[in-house]
Chain A
Amino acid sequence: MSLSLLIILPFVTALLVLFSKGLPQVRAIALGGSVVQLVLAFALLVLYWQARSAGDHSLMLFEQNYTWFAPLNIHFHTGVDGISIAMILLTAFVTIAGILVSWSMEKLNKEFFFLLLLLSMGAYGFFISLDLFTMFFFLEVAVIPKFLLIGIWGSGKKEYSAMKLALMLMGGSALVFVALAGIYFNTTTADGTHTFDLMQIAQMHIPIAVQKLFFPFAFIGFGIFTALFPFHTWVPDGHSSAPTAASMFLAGISMKLGGYGCLRVATFLMPEAAHAYSTIIIVLATIAIIYGAFATMMQTDLKYINAYSSVSHCGFVLLGIGMLTKTAITGAVMQMVSHGLMTALFFAAIGMLYDRTHTRQVEKLGGLLKIMPFISTVFVIAGLCSLGLPGLSGFVAEMTVFMGSWQNPDTIYRVATILACASIVVTAVYILRAMGKVIMGPLLVDSGGSASHGAGNLTVDAGWNEKVAAAILIIGILAIGMAPFWLNELISADAGVIMSKILNRF
């Protein structure tokens, strides 16, 4: 299967959207494109399984390699392993759900869907790239649509949030750039030139001093994307100001770009440095987990609750990567997938609630289960997944991270693991409190006295598009939660490759 299809398809869909007229046509094209994306992602998974069971043990499958800029030895090199396929599946799920929940987007709908599709193109491109330049290219492609999505269609202090997000993410990619330049000029290929090729660099030995210099650049740069403490401040503002679909994309996909980059570029290419800096990573990740959880307790806005809890949950991703055991890294990737699905579902549910009640303040809502059973149920499922209820994906992922972390015997790792585990209690507190207040109890909707949206709105439960969107995400969550082995198998072999590279050096 040609991996370039994953880039071409969203791009063509986006262009078609640009040349179509009227909301019905625009959204039909966007939906059609995203359905094909989902089909492609599944086809890729099946083909991958087939190839692996047929005994293909090469590191990357379906590789394609074209020369892009010959003088700098830049190639358009793509290929996938289990980790990238997991991320591609996640992207396809979130994209289709995001398009479905924005079904009745009136304002500048053409531009809105265009940017959403561009964002998904950036994400696919990033996940399939095996060349650092291509990877960097797609990483930046995925930044600008977010700025426009939040700034134009957002709510609240949207301009501020959009600018903050764009600048912090650009800062992240600036750091990544320095790391790339450093790596590039310290590689030598057989014919004496430098290379950006990920697989080639992985075979080389970058001098340890160089690794120690550039690992922080790469890790912090990608870490900013995935809310590494103390660079997480764009997360709450960005998520809460964004329109629903953009929040889903942001938390579901683009925070994962960072985690994937930390793993694939920073840790994989600079294993000695990853080992040397792992204590610092662990400390920062633990702070993010604890701090995120306690900060969530204080929030009254549903979107802020989910945004701060994302900081806490993405802390698990970084914790898993920092622990440097095979199980922990597997858990980190599972947590990326699980958190992507769960948080997208959560934001979708919040968006649906907001469309009807016009408020996101916890104290102004109550007893919604009585009038919107479907949306409330979705809300509860997302919440329970977030607090790690067994049977849902959050439990599986967090459990794997903790198991992997405990394998690391040093005291500081143990302490960090215990602290991270303890944060689950805090998570349960804020999730259950918000659930109880919004879903249960006496019916209360206080949308600030604005008469423009009357109570007639309230009685409408989810439309077909919202139901399908929620169902797709819930299927994903259950598929991981009930039967985690397939995802675990998909990821763990390739997590093992990364780990064995680290272990080989000691």
Chain B
Amino acid sequence: MLTDFLILMKQELIITVIIFILLLLKIGKELTNEQVINIANVLLLLNLAGGIFFNRQGTLFSGMFQTNALIVLEKNILSLGTLIISLQSTSWLKKHAHVSEFYILLLSTLLGMFFMISSGNLLMFYVGLELSSIPLAAMANFDLGKKQSSEAAMKFIISSAFASGLLLFGISMVYGATGTLTFSEIAAHLNGAPLQVFAFVLLLAGFGFKISVVPFHLWTADVYEGAPVAVTSYLSVISKGSVLFVFISVLYTVFKPMAASWYNMLFLLSVVTILVGNLFAIRQNNIKRFLAFSSIAQIGFILVGITGSSQMAVASVIYFVLIYVFSNLAAFGVVALVSAVTGREQVSDYKGFYKTNPVLSWVLTIALFSLAGVPPTAGFFGKFFLLMSGAGQGNYILISIAALNMIISFYYYLRIVKAIFMDANDQPIERLTIPAYSRLALYICVAGIIVTGVLGHVYDYIHSLSFGF
């Protein structure tokens, strides 16, 4: 029993231990920021390494907690992303007065996400979700001197409280309709009665808030703009990724009997999300807002994949999130570096960027190409498989809309590329020295963008794990 506990909950336990180590370090003797950052990075690396070995599948606490190879993989993707973000934000954290607090909050949210992904019960899921979103609000407020940052935190906490309220309402409806909260038992009681559909709509709205599906996206751009870049990238990649992982498993296992009714909902939501994300992204001048809207559009594409409801759809969504981790973090890594050194965050500031910073320009360009879905970057494969799994349902209207929206998204990504390479600028961003940690993070991302796509093994591996849906 104890060994079961230790092995199945291994990843959560490691994170808890790390949090305590950091806490004790904070209480103990005074460490410089750099030392804390070094220690934290090593610990995060150990966390990632720990997730790779000695994995088993099973359940704990009478089905409250479950794990299997796919869930471990999802957690590893999140750990990897967190490590990359930590590496990228060194130049920002070095100047900050509360580094260990930042890491403690960061790891608490990660712990919450892990519990959420492993949950086998709606209550467990809810607790995990709350643990993952409340510390995030504190993190959004981490640019202590900036008004915008606290505004972002406020907006985030209010909207996420509202979303949690909806979720709870939905959960209580589910309980009322089925008499159980355990995932494996709910499905047997669902038959598409109006009350159940209503409960599902509430749950969907709650999920929609977390992954910023239109029309629940209104908080996204403001929070992304106000929060520190490290937190923005965490929100857009890790937080969304974790909710997506849970969303597909809840949708495909718990609400499987109601597939006919949620297919149309997702169809509508995905079309609206892609369109609104794309059209708003065109007009943005702040690069963080721009990435916010582009990430909304990306979620729309993911929803197209989710409508597929097949093994391929599960694999494609997880694969896409992995690619999204690399591509979005590469883009945010460059933005974070520029923002930390110069404080400039406008798209127009990037004009003539190639003349002064060729390496960073190429990294940003590759990342944007990957987000746009241009081969040979991984984004191409990710989008292709997402849309293919959506097409598996035979709804070619949806696929045509999504494919044509690729053109719009292509336009605004190319706008940035154009600014970098083609536009003249009197005051380009000066030549930046890239700190070793950021450099490492960018290399990991670029390698990920190139390798994850072209090598078929990654997708094969994910696909081989995504059975049972």
Q: Is the CB of B460 within 8 A of A70?
A: yes
List residues 52-91 of chain A with CB under 8 A from any CB of chain B.
67-72, 74
Flag if A163 contacts B406 (CB, 8 Å): no
Q: Is A324 interfacial (CB-CB < 8 Å)?
A: no
Q: Is the CB of B456 within 8 A of A69?
A: yes
Q: Is the CB of A137 within 8 A of B403?
A: no
- Chain B 366-379: CB-based contact to A (< 8 A → 1; otherwise 0): 00010000111000
Determine the chain B residues whose CB is within 8 A of the CB of A162 once the complex forms: 418, 422
Q: Which of A72, A159, A184, A185 interacts with B418 by CB under 8 Å?
A: A159
* Contact residue among A70, A147, A174, A181 (Cβ-Cβ distance under 8 Å from B414): A147
- The reply to whether the CB of A294 lies closer than 8 angstroms to some CB of chain B is no
Please name all residues of chain B whose beta carbon is closer than 8 Å to the beta carbon of A147 when the two chains form the complex. 414, 417
**Which listed residue, A67, A72, A138, A159, touches B312 by the CB 8 Å rule?**
A72
Contact A177 B387 (CB under 8 A): yes
Dominant SS among interface residues on chain A: helix
Decide yes or no whether A152 CB sits under 8 A from chain B.
yes
State the CA gap A392–B248 with chains docked (Å): 62
Given the interface contacts A71-B459, A177-B387, does A152 sit within 8 Å of B407 by beta carbon? no
Tell me which residues across on chain A come within 8 A of B418, comparing CB atoms: 151, 159, 162-163
Nearest CB of chain B from residue A177's CB, rounded to whole Å: 5
Q: Tell me which residues from 250 to 272 in chain B have a Cβ below 8 Å from any Cβ of chain A.
A: none
Contact between A181 and B460, CB atoms less than 8 A apart = no
Among B388, B404, B422, point to the contact of A159 (Cβ < 8 A).
B422
Tell me the minimal C-beta distance from A158 to chain B in angstroms: 7
- Are B456 and A70 in contact, CB atoms less than 8 angstroms apart? yes
- A167 at interface, CB cutoff 8 A: yes
Give 1 or 0 for each of A154-184: 1 = CB within 8 Å of chain B CB: 0000110011001100110011011001101
Q: Knowing A67-B456, A137-B376, say if A177 contacts B411 (CB, 8 Å).
A: no
Taking CB atoms, residues of chain B closer than 8 Å to A185 are 391-392, 394
Q: Do residues A171 and B407 form an inter-chain contact, with CB atoms below 8 A?
A: yes
B404 A174 Cβ-Cβ under 8 A: yes
Residues of B within 8 A of A16 (CB): none
Known: A71-B459, A170-B410. A140 touches B400 (CB 8 A): no
| Interface presence of A45 (CB below 8 A) | no
Interface residues of B in 389-414 (CB under 8 A from A): 391-392, 394, 396, 399-400, 403-404, 406-407, 410-411, 414
Measured between alpha carbons, how far is A175 from B418 in the docked complex, in Å? 25
Interface size class of A (residues with CB under 8 A): 35 or more
* B385, B394, B414: the one within 8 Å of A72 (CB): B385
Q: B387: which A residues are within 8 A, CB to CB?
A: 177, 181
B347 to chain A, nearest CB (A): 15
Q: Is B302's CB within 8 Å of the partner chain A?
A: no
Most buried by B among A74, A137, A159, A174: A174
Contacts of A184 in B (CB 8 A): 388, 391
Is there contact, CB below 8 Å, between B403 and A177? yes
- Tell me the complex Cα distance, A144–B375, Å: 9
Decide if A478 is an interface residue (CB 8 Å cutoff). Answer: no
A141 on interface, CB distance cutoff 8 Å? yes
Residue of A at shortest CB range from B389? Answer: A72
- Give the Cβ gap from A221 to chain B, nearest Cβ, in Å: 10
Q: How far is the CB of B370 from chain A (nearest CB, A)?
A: 12
Contact in complex: A167, B403 (CB < 8 Å): no
**Most B-side CB within 10 Å, residue of A68, A133, A141:** A68
B26 part of interface (Cβ distance < 8 Å)? no
| Residue pair A178, B396 in contact (C-beta under 8 Å) | yes
User: Are B422 and A152 in contact (CB-based, < 8 A)?
Assistant: yes
Q: A170 near B407 (CB under 8 angstroms)?
A: yes
Instruction: Tell me if B463 is interfacial: C-beta within 8 Å of chain A.
Output: yes
Chain A positions within 8 Å of B396 at CB level: 178, 181-182, 213
Chain B facing A: main interface SS: helix
Chain B neighbourhood of A143, CB < 8 A: 374
CB atoms of B411 and A163 under 8 A apart: yes
Q: Are B374 and A72 in contact (CB under 8 A)?
A: no
The smallest C-beta distance from B32 to any residue of chain A, in angstroms, reads: 39
Is the Cβ of B456 less than 8 Å from the Cβ of A144? no
- B380 interface residue, CB < 8 Å from A? yes
Those of A325-378 within 8 Å (CB) of chain B:
none
Q: Are A144 and B459 neighbours in the complex by a CB distance under 8 Å? A: no
From A140, A158, A175, A182, contact of B374 by CB (8 A): A140
Known interface pairs A71-B315, A71-B459, A72-B385; A140-B375 also in contact (CB < 8 Å): yes
Q: Are B406 and A170 in contact (CB under 8 A)?
A: yes
Expressed in whole angstroms, the Cα–Cα distance for A152 and B422 within the complex equals 5
**Is residue A148 contacting chain B, with contact meaning CB distance below 8 A?**
yes
Known: A167-B407, A174-B404, A181-B387. A69 touches B459 (CB 8 A): yes
Q: Contact between B421 and A148 (Cβ–Cβ < 8 Å)?
A: yes
Q: Which residue of B lies closest to A76 (CB)?
A: B456
Residues of A within 8 A of B376 (CB): 137, 141
CB distance from A111 to the nearest CB of B (A): 9
Chain B residues near A152 (CB, 8 Å)? 421-422
Closest to B391 in A: A181
The contact of B411 among A136, A167, A174, A178, by CB within 8 Å, is A167
The chain B residue sitting closest to A142, CB to CB, is B375
Interface string of A166-206 (1 = CB under 8 A from B): 11001100110110011011000000000000000000000
Give the distance to chain B from A400, nearest Cβ to Cβ, in Å. 35
Q: Please encode chain B, from 426 to 441, with 1 for each CB lying within 8 Å of some chain A CB and 0 for all others.
A: 0000000000000000
**Least distance between A64 CB and chain B CB atoms (Å):** 16
Are B399 and A181 neighbours in the complex by a CB distance under 8 Å? yes
B380 near A71: Cβ-Cβ < 8 Å:
no
* A174 with B456, Cβ < 8 A, contacts A152-B421, A159-B418, A185-B394 known: no
Question: Can you list, as one digit per residue, whether each of B74-101 has a CB less than 8 Å from chain A (1) or not (0)?
Answer: 0000000000000000000000000000
CA A141 to CA B380, docked complex, whole Å: 10
By the criterion CB–CB under 8 Å, are B414 and A163 in contact? yes
Q: State the Cβ distance, A105 to closest chain B Cβ, in Å.
A: 16
In the complex, which residues of chain A have a beta carbon less than 8 angstroms from the beta carbon of B392?
185
Note all chain B residues with C-beta closer than 8 A to A137. 375-376, 380
B403 contacts A140, C-beta separation under 8 Å: no
Flag if B463 contacts A71 (CB, 8 Å). Answer: yes
Within 8 Å CB of A166, what residues of B? 410, 414
Closest Cβ neighbor of A118 among chain B residues: B376
Residues of B within 8 A of A148 (CB): 417, 421
The CA of A69 and the CA of B462, in the complex, are separated in Å by: 11
Shortest C-beta distance, B123 to chain A (Å), equals: 35
With known contacts A67-B456, A71-B315, A144–B374 Cβ distance under 8 A: yes
B404: nearest chain-A partner, CB-CB? A174
Could you tell me the distance between the alpha carbons of A68 and B460 in the complex, rounded to whole angstroms?
9
Inter-chain contacts of B417 with A (CB < 8 A)? 147-148
Return A212 CB to nearest CB of chain B, in Å: 13
Among B375, B384, B403, B422, the residue within 8 A (CB) of A175 is B403
Residue of A nearest to B362 (CB): A111
Chain B residues near A151 (CB, 8 Å)?
418, 421-422
Could you jot down 12 A-B contacts, CB within 8 Å?
A69-B381, A70-B456, A71-B311, A136-B384, A137-B375, A137-B380, A141-B376, A151-B421, A174-B407, A177-B384, A184-B388, A185-B392
For the complex of A and B, the 5 pairs showing the least CB-CB separation, nearest first, are A181-B391, A174-B403, A71-B463, A69-B456, A151-B422
Binding site for A on B (CB under 8 A): 311-312, 315, 369, 374-376, 380-381, 384-385, 387-388, 391-392, 394, 396, 399-400, 403-404, 406-407, 410-411, 414, 417-418, 421-423, 456, 459-460, 463
Given contacts A133-B384, A184-B388, 20 further A-B contacts (CB under 8 A): A67-B456, A70-B460, A71-B312, A71-B315, A71-B459, A71-B460, A71-B463, A72-B385, A141-B376, A151-B422, A166-B410, A166-B414, A167-B410, A167-B411, A174-B403, A178-B400, A181-B387, A181-B388, A182-B391, A184-B391
